[in-house]
Structure 1
Amino acid sequence: MQVTNQMGDVHEVPTEKGQGGSNYLLPFILITSLFFLWGMAHGFDGILIPHLRKACELNNRQSTLIDTAVFLAYFIMAIPAGMLIKRFGYKNSIITGLLVFAAGAFLFVPAANSRTYELFLFALFVIGCGLTILETSANPYAAILGPPESSSKRLNLAASFNGLAAMAGPVLGSMFILSGKSFTPAEMAAMPQAEKLSYLAGEAATVKMPYIVLGSILLLMAILFYFMHLPSMKPTHTEVEVKPGFFSVLKFSHLSWAVVAQFFYVGAQVCVTSFFVRIAEQSAGLDEKTAGYYLGIYGALFMSGRFIGTFFLRFIKDYVLLSIYCVMCVILCVVAIYASGIYVIYALGAIGFFMSIMFPTIFSLGLVGLKSNTETGSSWLVMSIVGGAILPYGMGTLIDMNHDDIQSGYLIPLVCFLIILYFGVFGHKVKKVA
């Protein structure tokens, strides 16, 4: 059986064993596990930011470089990852991504031993490179691993495990990384030097075991993929066609606005989670472990929002639902900025619910009508997630300028949602191009 994708590539797909396609089951389970693993990596980031801020004695701006390291890797590795797949195929690319991911996880050990923030950032950059290769490989492979008519269902099923990890990551991170011990700047200044160094070293050391376990699982997965037979999806024939220029595709205004909207969406999502634990401590008076568990609840709301939003999309136009959800997020950001107590956390949890459909909805709206430009448009939309590397740094800077007032920083996500709202109301409209 041959499957032709929208690029003109013809893929050989093995004949299914019966209606259930049982020969696809084990490969699909393995691919789905990758969605969970990279979701865990991102789930840990929301815990790492407040934790390394404490362990390495950072200000808010410096702590957001954790996001910068990970998402800058996505921006840099997006195109090389695609080239790797074309040259070596999906299976070898997945194995490479797992090994790079594992290498970054193991680098946490020397980083913690030396309590060197720059080495932590390098480890996170390496992890980001591995994640880029994995996501670039696993997303299309899950889509084409079976009959074309059910590709969307397979991809959404696999992505649901990414949402599960968004809930599990913060909970596990709170259990094994956060110590629950924290001191004010005055208390740290009054602490004897030897005691202070011992405390900071102990805080840094808590990251080692979770990342050693994660790295070991990744190595085992790489070995399993190496010996596992996966249906070959390498291109067997490619039509010769003139490809559009990389920048000329931006003549489609709806794609240009989608790139802008995606940049600000990813930036907003990372901003919300990066300072979630700290705002829970500062505004709601929670201890850091309890705050971490609430971040897990945020992940559960994000996951449920994806399922519920997908249901609503059967009855409501995608751009209409996107616009409604943006309005809700703007209102909730205002609540997060001006409310007090536990209501701030409720507002942030609700933002997670309403953000859930934004990434795939913006992505699909941006590709409408591109035809032969689809591949290039997809590359732009993937690269636009660099917003997650830039906007949290701006949020950390704003918080530092306002004397560590975490709530004031949520003005950044508010502006982001207003820009996405413009895309949902006006920017998504497809205009004819001469």
Structure 2
Amino acid sequence: MPSITPIKTNEAASQSTESTRDYRNYTSPLIVVTLLFFMWGFITCMNDILIPKLQEVFTLQLWQAMLIQTAFFGAYFIVSFLYFITSIVKGDPIQKIGYKNGIIIGLIVAALGCTLFYPAAEFHSYGLFLMALFVLASGITVLQITANPYVAILGPPETSSSRMNLSQALNSFGTTIAPIIGGYLIFDQVASAQIDTADSVKLPYLGLAALLLLLALLIKVARLPRLEGSGKIETGAGAMKHPHLVLGIICIFMYVGGEVSIGSALINYIKLPQITGLTESEAKHYLAFYWGGAMIGRFFGAVALSTLKRAGKFAVMALIALVTFVTVYALYDLNQAMIILGLIAVNVLVLMLARFIPNRTVGLFAMAVIGLLLIGVVAEGSLAMWAIIAIGLFNSIMFPTIFDLAIKGLGRHTSQGSSLLVMAIVGGAIVPPLQGLFADLTGDLQLSFIIPMICYAYIVYYGFVGYKVKEAQV
């Protein structure tokens, strides 16, 4: 994989930097930065708990409740767009302030957004909740723009996909435990106290604000390598001259839109009488399986795309599967543990068919998701529920691998390309309300999963065709 270092003013200088860089000193910084991925994964998945909660508190229609995702992911678009415009006119901000300062700024803004949940609950205002989510997501957007390319360049270029998947696995760990912890704090505790107000979100989000500020302090004192370089800060939209990046932007839009839409509707889907008829408190555990599948799949992806020998890869993946089986068995029961193990086996089989090739894996995984969505639309009962939950396993490697494929070969335009890819996360703001509107108009939530199915059809195209690096269009 060619260099993606965004720090020099010409390609020769970039290649020279790659050849002389000592990657042995990057392990500790990589560990510190991956904590960011965990935090924003946890916070993002908390939205799936907020949707049914605030829908009940404010008596909202589903499409109105989905505006939670619009406010959250809309910030990704607006902040990233402003970043892109700034980079055209003034030069790339990250090259000016550095990755470390960019990360700290993002954490502080995100903490402010969490703090705003308190007055939103106090004044019982859905509008204030949406504003708090927008501010919170603005901070996370800055983290996405800085942390994703930073992880990609914290090591040899040929293993960047592996590092991206490993970091995103930590992100998925956050999304896995968020439904359990968030559901306990917001649903179970409120039910036990017989309180049906928005006050239940106050303490959880104040706690998140404190953790974000603590993490900002940790980043401040940590010795992170400065990789921006001291070259001339260039202006212009150079990243847009790369066709595979432009197609990758659309692909990120489609992926995030599909993933978030499915996760947002999952609790309401499981509650359907023809599916399981479970309560919100019971359904949250299955939401954890959905996001947990993404975590397991990303660990598999990190191993599969690493430099380990084939036998070593299978040994590590077998160990991950065993730990997963034991964990699910200990927390739930043997039946669910066997189901999860079976789904993992199918996931690994598709991974083997892809021959551990990044773009081929993206394409085949997207095809698998389409098949699972079809089952979720036409089937009923446990089969339909587990088909939708299994999508998490196949979502796993998509975001980090698409991201890595899209910034491949951008050189000094990598940070700008990263901002455009983060801007495309706005798909999470647009697709969920479309699915919610489809469900409201047809009265059929199950049929509404056709909407994310369209998104994954495009991902199939990008995985097999659109990813190819071509000469930059001048």
TM-score (norm 2): 0.76
Range 254-263 or range 54-63, more displaced: 254-263
The residue correspondences of 1:331-350 to structure 2 (distance < 5 A) are: 331-350=371-390
Do residues 68 (structure 1) and 70 (structure 2) align?
yes
Q: Which of 265, 270, 290 is the matching residue for 1:298? A: 290
Range 353-362 or range 108-117, more displaced: 353-362
Contact conserved, 2:248 with 2:406, CA < 8 A, in 1? yes
| Partner secondary structure for residue 178 of structure 1 | helix
Contact conserved, 1:180 with 1:287, CA < 8 A, in 2? no
The residue correspondences of 1:173-192 to structure 2 (distance < 5 A) are: 173-179=182-188
Q: Which of 241, 250, 258 is the matching residue for 1:260? A: 250
Whole-angstrom CA distance in 2 between matches of 1:28 and 1:318: 22
Q: How far off is 1:349 after superposition?
A: 1.3
Q: What CA deviation, in whole Å up to 9, does each residue of 1:179-221 have, x standing for no partner?
A: 4989xxxxxxxxxxxxxxx97x733111111111111112222
Quick one: higher RCO (CA 8 Å, sep 6+), 1 or 2?
2
Q: Which of 238, 244, 255 is the matching residue for 2:231? A: 238
Match of 2:280 in 1: 288
Contact conserved, 2:162 with 2:301, CA < 8 A, in 1? no
Q: Percent identity over the alignment?
A: 38
CA distance 1:358–1:235, shift in 2 (3 Å) = closer
Q: How far off is 1:4 after superposition?
A: 9.2
Q: How far off is 1:374 after superposition?
A: 4.8
Whole-angstrom CA distance in 2 between matches of 1:413 and 1:4: 31
- Equivalent position amino acid for 1:73 in 2: A
Match of 1:124 in 2: 133
Match of 2:259 in 1: 269
Q: What CA deviation, in whole Å up to 9, does each residue of 1:5-46 have, x standing for no partner?
A: 244268999x999x964xx66544432221111111012111
Whole-angstrom CA distance in 2 between matches of 1:234 and 1:327: 38
The residue correspondences of 1:118-157 to structure 2 (distance < 5 A) are: 118-145=127-154, 154-157=163-166
Q: How far off is 1:128 after superposition?
A: 0.5
| Partner secondary structure for residue 98 of structure 2 | helix
Gaps of 5+ in 1: 183-197
Match of 1:102 in 2: 111
Match of 1:191 in 2: none
Whole-angstrom CA distance in 2 between matches of 1:240 and 1:229: 26
The residue correspondences of 1:3-402 to structure 2 (distance < 5 A) are: 5-8=5-8, 21=25, 27-78=29-80, 83-145=92-154, 154-179=163-188, 202-226=196-220, 228-233=221-226, 235-238=228-231, 245=238, 247=240, 249=241, 252=243, 254-282=244-272, 283-310=275-302, 311=304, 312=351, 315-368=355-408, 370=410, 374-402=414-442
Whole-angstrom CA distance in 1 between matches of 2:96 and 2:413: 21
Whole-angstrom CA distance in 2 between matches of 1:323 and 1:411: 19
Q: What CA deviation, in whole Å up to 9, does each residue of 1:123-143 have, x standing for no partner?
A: 000010110112222233344
Contact conserved, 1:243 with 1:372, CA < 8 A, in 2? no
Contact conserved, 2:95 with 2:233, CA < 8 A, in 1? no
Contact conserved, 1:285 with 1:341, CA < 8 A, in 2? no
Contact conserved, 1:105 with 1:215, CA < 8 A, in 2? yes
Gaps of 5+ in 2: 305-350
Q: How many residues align?
A: 407
| Partner secondary structure for residue 230 of structure 2 | strand
Contact conserved, 2:405 with 2:467, CA < 8 A, in 1? yes
Q: CA RMSD in A?
A: 3.3
Q: Which of 444, 448, 451 is the matching residue for 1:412? A: 451
Q: What CA deviation, in whole Å up to 9, does each residue of 1:89-115 have, x standing for no partner?
A: 233222221111111111111111222
Q: What CA deviation, in whole Å up to 9, does each residue of 1:354-390 have, x standing for no partner?
A: 1112223323333455556555444432222211111
Whole-angstrom CA distance in 1 between matches of 2:201 and 2:178: 13
Q: How far off is 1:118 after superposition?
A: 0.6
Contact conserved, 1:284 with 1:344, CA < 8 A, in 2? no
Q: How far off is 1:397 after superposition?
A: 0.7
Contact conserved, 1:77 with 1:129, CA < 8 A, in 2? yes
Whole-angstrom CA distance in 2 between matches of 1:28 and 1:322: 25
TM-score (norm 1): 0.83
